[in-house]
Structure 1
Amino acid sequence: MNSRPARKGAQQISEVANRLIDPVLARRAGINTMLLGSWDEIAGSAFADCSRPEKIAWPRRVSEMAGEDGGHQPGTLTIACEGSRALFLSHQQGELIQRINGFFGFPAIRQIRIVQKPVTPPARRRRPPRPLTGEAARHLDALVEGIEGDALKAALKRLGTAVLGQKGSKRP
């Protein structure tokens, strides 16, 4: 049975999604959605666009029978970083570890391991929309006819061409 009382009212979809995703991320990568979502602030503007946390490797717990307390030990955070910026990130490791530990509120990270690889997904090439012909082209021209600014008129024509040129769109 659930030990938490049921909440009344609406819940944000992000709260529901985080409750579903966090256990999977914790098992597979040792991280949570809060770290991923706050990475831009933690990494700062210099590294937010070229890096992302991948996983935290926690050391194996020492048995209490061996005389150790078996308490928490800081882990190693693996960060993916693009190309030559990884070198600059490596020079900022100390500060980054402090920021991450400040985020967690306890010394969670002992060291950082940087892996060079692409972080941003490759941009999909979009094909330019096919030009409108016939009644659709005349209708679009009539819609933008009263627009005075040339740049705005051109932008609206591009938008209209893309919308009216889509498969399944209702053409006039």
Structure 2
Amino acid sequence: MNSRSPRRGALQISEVANRLIDPVLARRAGINTMLLGSWDEIAGAAFADCSRPEKIAWPRRASEMAGEDGGHQPGVLTIACEGSRALFLSHQQGELIQRVNGFFGFPAIRQIRIVQKPVSPPVRRRRPPRPLTGEAARHLEELVEGIEGDALKAALKRLGTAVLGRNGQPRR
């Protein structure tokens, strides 16, 4: 048996994750991971980087509350969009509804609601490395001792602190 061939019944991690996440997303937001994963293609190059689907609000039907199956009614898709690009996205609503409905394969969406807010994850700023102590600090001072330029010396000290601060020894 080839060690690279997949075992029978083996699942990819993404399949397992989607099976776990989809019910939660469906309950809370009315969407699934396939919609989120395909959003770049659905939104197109103009809006893929500045928008994301947030939820789908499905209308409650009187027949549903009475326990009858009244058929499907299209919902309202809420999309988060950054800044002024939301205005341009609003002009493309008709086309975007067609694309989303084409993705689902049936008229799932009748309206789009756009909410202006940041979409990109916030940039995490790294904390400065802890100052070196003991032998590592002395070793770094010896290494930068002959450097004349103050700016270069400071930059090399920052670099050395980051490198030596991990385990006290430079990586090789």
TM over 0.5: yes
The verdict on how the C-alpha distance between 1:102 and 1:141 changes in structure 2, with shifts beyond 3 A counting, is farther
Contact 1:136–1:171 under 8 Å retained in 2: no
127-136 or 138-147: bigger deviation: 138-147
Displacement of 1:107 after TM fit?
0.6
Cα distance in 1, alignment partners of residues 133 and 17 from structure 2: 45
Query: What do residues 91-116 of structure 1 show as CA deviations (whole Å, max 9, x unaligned)?
Result: 00011111101110111000100001
The verdict on how the C-alpha distance between 1:65 and 1:58 changes in structure 2, with shifts beyond 3 A counting, is closer
The verdict on how the C-alpha distance between 1:96 and 1:169 changes in structure 2, with shifts beyond 3 A counting, is farther
Query: What do residues 22-67 of structure 1 show as CA deviations (whole Å, max 9, x unaligned)?
Result: 0111011000000011111111111111111000000112317999
Displacement of 1:121 after TM fit?
1.9
Cα distance in 1, alignment partners of residues 45 and 79 from structure 2: 16
**Structure 2 portions without partners, runs of 5+:** none
117-126 or 30-39: bigger deviation: 117-126
Displacement of 1:86 after TM fit?
0.4
Q: CA RMSD in A?
A: 6.4
The verdict on how the C-alpha distance between 1:8 and 1:74 changes in structure 2, with shifts beyond 3 A counting, is same
**SS of 2:79 mapped into structure 1:** strand
Relative to the length of structure 1, the TM-score reads 0.72
Question: Do structure 1's residue 16 and structure 2's residue 16 form an aligned pair?
Answer: yes
Cα distance in 2, alignment partners of residues 15 and 148 from structure 1: 57
The verdict on how the C-alpha distance between 1:34 and 1:136 changes in structure 2, with shifts beyond 3 A counting, is same
Displacement of 1:149 after TM fit?
22
Relative to the length of structure 2, the TM-score reads 0.72
The verdict on how the C-alpha distance between 1:65 and 1:15 changes in structure 2, with shifts beyond 3 A counting, is closer
Cα distance in 2, alignment partners of residues 77 and 29 from structure 1: 10
Q: Matched residue pairs, number? A: 172
Contact 1:57–1:76 under 8 Å retained in 2: yes
The verdict on how the C-alpha distance between 1:10 and 1:139 changes in structure 2, with shifts beyond 3 A counting, is farther
Cα distance in 2, alignment partners of residues 151 and 98 from structure 1: 57
The verdict on how the C-alpha distance between 1:97 and 1:145 changes in structure 2, with shifts beyond 3 A counting, is farther
Contact 2:50–2:82 under 8 Å retained in 1: yes
Query: What do residues 124-167 of structure 1 show as CA deviations (whole Å, max 9, x unaligned)?
Result: 11245579899879999999999999999999999997454325
Displacement of 1:6 after TM fit?
15
**SS of 2:167 mapped into structure 1:** coil
Match of 1:126 in 2: 126
The verdict on how the C-alpha distance between 1:151 and 1:39 changes in structure 2, with shifts beyond 3 A counting, is farther
The verdict on how the C-alpha distance between 1:3 and 1:156 changes in structure 2, with shifts beyond 3 A counting, is closer
The verdict on how the C-alpha distance between 1:104 and 1:164 changes in structure 2, with shifts beyond 3 A counting, is farther
**SS of 1:76 mapped into structure 2:** strand
The verdict on how the C-alpha distance between 1:17 and 1:68 changes in structure 2, with shifts beyond 3 A counting, is closer
The verdict on how the C-alpha distance between 1:3 and 1:167 changes in structure 2, with shifts beyond 3 A counting, is closer
